Amino acid sequence: MNSQTVLVTGASSGIGLEIARLMAQQGYELILLARRKHLLDALAQELRASCQAKVEVLEADLAGPDAAQAVVDVLQARGLQVDVLVNNAGFGLLGDHLALESQSQFDMVQVNIMALVQLTRLLLPGMIARDRGGVLNVASTAAFQAGPGMAVYYATKAFVLSYTEALHEELCRTRLHVSCLCPGPTDTPFVDVAGMQGVKFFKLGAQPAAEVARFGVQAFQANRAVAISGFKNAFAAFLVRFTPRLALRKVIRALTRV
Ligand SMILES: NC(=O)c1ccc[n+]([C@@H]2O[C@H](COP(=O)([O-])OP(=O)(O)OC[C@H]3O[C@@H](n4cnc5c(N)ncnc54)[C@H](OP(=O)(O)O)[C@@H]3O)[C@@H](O)[C@H]2O)c1
């Protein structure tokens, strides 16, 4: 699937940055999107030098209501076509719904859900017309149960999982790949952004971002609908199926306490 162009949202850091590195090594052309342009520029320079990759940088804040359309307008103006869309940009916030500031939680819904759906809806028709490429959405193991203490974040990831699975099925007669990567705790700045330093989840061990990225890209290339990164995380998600929801809520409540 190389010589295709991949748009990676949230490529300035963590899992997105590692997905971009890996796909550049595999011969894909890259479009790197995030707010922190200096980090994207540095990564672009690295990838051009190390992989002779063709790399474009797109500075964008996906929290704006019209952000996705604005991104597609810039792509068109620059004559860039997207074959593979990696919807990775996202963030979480630790705290009870009423304790957290409301605008940041609305922004989270905008970035984690709305921008992801809009980019997908805007870019899929081109992929269908060319009959190649696809979408890799990054959800989380948070998608499998409710998350008291991080209510909005868990709910956004449940949306991403459900949406992606449905899309995978709707497009199964095309040559497009549609996959949902569900990482568990991963060693990235996500923890600092979410204010989760010291949370029990992460003390139990986090996977390296490069490992999660490799797993996700392989899952996408194999067109797996749902890919849970790490044996412990996959096993935990399996157990969720047999656990009463009340018990799950209590467990997550305990785990999200600092
Ligand atoms: N780390 C974990 O434990 C974990 C576990 C499960 C799922 N995930 C998911 O994995 C994905 C990547 O997270 P990560 O762990 O790699 O965290 P990260 O290192 O903090 O990366 C988040 C990326 O999203 C971008 N982003 C955030 N808000 C944005 C906005 N308004 N507009 C555009 N880009 C924005 C950030 O770029 P800028 O700040 O430069 O804009 C950054 O590149 C997220 O969807 C997250 O929910 C993470």
Q: What is the pLDDT of residues 34-46, one digit of tens each?
A: 999 999 999 999 9
pLDDT above 90 for 200: no
Extract the tokens encoding 37. Answer: 């342009």
**Cβ(11)–Cβ(33) under 8 Å?**
yes
Mean pLDDT of the chain: 96
In the chain, % of residues over pLDDT 90: 93
Extract the tokens encoding 110. Answer: 């905008």
pLDDT above 70 for 33: yes
pLDDT in tens, 93-139: 999 999 999 999 999 999 999 999 999 999 999 999 999 999 999 99
Active site residue 154: no
- 91: Cβ below 6 Å to ligand 1? yes
| Among protein residues, the one whose CA lies closest to atom 36 of ligand 1 | 10
Q: How many structural domains is the chain composed of?
A: 1
Which CATH number fits the domain that encloses residue 96?
A: 3.40.50.720
| Distance between Cα 189 and ligand 1 center (Å) | 8
Extract the tokens encoding 112. Answer: 């984690």
DSSP track, 31-49: EEEES-HHHHHHHHHHHHH
Q: 168 is in which domain, residue-wise? A: 5-255
| Distance between Cα 177 and ligand 1 center (Å) | 22
CA 206 to ligand 1: nearest atom: 3
CA 141 to ligand 1: nearest atom: 6
Give pTM, 2 decimals: 0.97
Mean pLDDT in residue range 66-95:
98
Buried b (16+ CB within 10 A) or exposed e, 179-200: bbbbbbbbbbebbeebebeebe
Confidence band (pLDDT; 50, 70, 90) for 1? very low
Alpha helix positions (H), 57-207: 67-77, 102-109, 115-130, 151-170, 190-194, 200-203
Q: What is the pLDDT of residue 51?
A: 94
pLDDT above 90 for 224: yes
- Residue 177's φ and ψ, nearest 5 degrees, are -105, 140
pLDDT above 50 for 190: yes
